[in-house]
């Protein structure tokens, strides 16, 4: 199979920047030329001006954009980290020890098919509208990918490695920590990345319904006020923050599992 020669990092960065510049130029042209009305789509320059304005202007959503960003980040990171702290160990234990699988698998299989947003009505009844409701919904959305990928990763451990460890006199717990967990780490990080994406997507939907602050709430208020610039600004900020944090997760993955071919 043909493999393309690996480019220097600076060339990849240049290509990435070029793609973004071309995309923005086309976007600006489509709006400036009148192909799409400014009532439906605003130009990148207008979005920049809206961002600067929202640094101090609380209209139409009641808060500046920095407040919305801080609130959303705090919620998504709290729910995401909580799901990783519980979901990853649970998935690993379920995949390696039959006792844990028998104990938790039935409950997980019942919860897993339920869409995260389906929890919103009952969560609002229990916790009311606010941070607790959003945190729970984000946790549920991020929890499932963590468990599934951790479970799949440790289940895929090479039996030959386990047999060698067993022959060397390793206990079941030693086999778990020294063979199973390292073998599962690549899939664990896949699950963590998917979990983070699910957390962001669910956060926005939850804030549209059960919040009075946050980027999702800002988007909803922008829609109700017929402000496409507010809506697009919220979407763009979510995309940029999500991209940056996903990149940081990629760097963490390289540090934790340097033996994986990236």
Residue ranges of the alpha helices (H) in the chain?
9-32, 44-54, 65-96, 98-111, 120-127, 131-155, 159-167, 172-175, 181-210, 215-224, 228-256
**pLDDT per position in the chain (262 positions), as tens?**
445 566 677 777 888 889 889 998 999 999 988 888 888 889 999 999 999 999 999 999 999 999 999 999 999 999 999 999 999 999 999 999 999 999 999 999 998 999 888 888 888 888 887 788 888 989 999 999 999 999 999 999 999 999 998 888 889 999 999 999 999 999 999 999 999 989 988 887 778 776 788 998 899 899 899 999 999 999 999 989 988 998 899 889 888 888 766 5
**Cis peptide preceding 161, ω within 30 of 0:** no
Q: What is the model's pTM?
A: 0.86
Q: Outline where 97-155 has alpha helix (H).
A: 98-111, 120-127, 131-155
Cα–Cα–Cα angle for 171, 182, 174, nearest 5°? 10
CA atoms within 13 A on the CB side of 241: 21
Residue 40's contacts (CB-CB under 8 Å, 6 or more residues apart) are 228
In angstroms, how far is CA 159 from the centroid of its own chain?
Answer: 32
For the record, the structure tokens of 152 come out as 């799949």
Q: How does DSSP classify residue 151?
A: H
At 224 the three-state DSSP class reads helix
Tokens of 36: 């799409």
């Amino acid at each position: 199979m043909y493999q393309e020669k690996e480019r220097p990092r600076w060339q990849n960065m240049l290509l990435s920047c070029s793609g973004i510049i071309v995309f923005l130029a086309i976007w600006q042209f489509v709006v400036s030329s009148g192909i799409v009305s400014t009532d439906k789509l605003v130009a990148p320059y207008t979005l920049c001006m809206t961002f600067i304005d929202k640094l101090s202007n609380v209209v139409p959503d009641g808060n500046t954009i920095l407040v919305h960003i801080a609130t959303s980040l705090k919620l998504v990171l709290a729910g995401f980290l909580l799901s990783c702290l519980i979901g990853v160990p649970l998935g690993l234990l379920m995949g390696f020890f039959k006792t844990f699988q028998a104990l938790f698998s039935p409950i997980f299989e019942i919860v897993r098919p339920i869409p995260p947003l389906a929890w919103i009505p009952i969560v609002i009844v229990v916790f009311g509208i606010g941070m607790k409701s959003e945190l729970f919904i984000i946790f549920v959305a991020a929890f499932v990918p963590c468990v599934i990928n951790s479970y799949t990763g440790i289940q895929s451990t090479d039996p030959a490695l386990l047999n060698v460890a067993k022959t060397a006199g390793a206990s079941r717990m030693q086999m778990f920590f020294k063979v199973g967990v390292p073998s599962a780490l690549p899939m664990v990080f896949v699950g963590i990345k998917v979990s983070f994406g699910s957390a962001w997507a669910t956060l926005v939907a939850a804030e549209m319904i059960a919040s009075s602050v946050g980027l999702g709430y800002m988007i909803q208020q922008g829609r109700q006020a017929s402000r496409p610039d507010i809506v697009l600004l919220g979407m763009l900020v979510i995309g940029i923050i999500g991209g940056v944090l996903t990149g940081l997760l990629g760097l963490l993955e390289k540090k934790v599992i340097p033996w994986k071919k990236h």
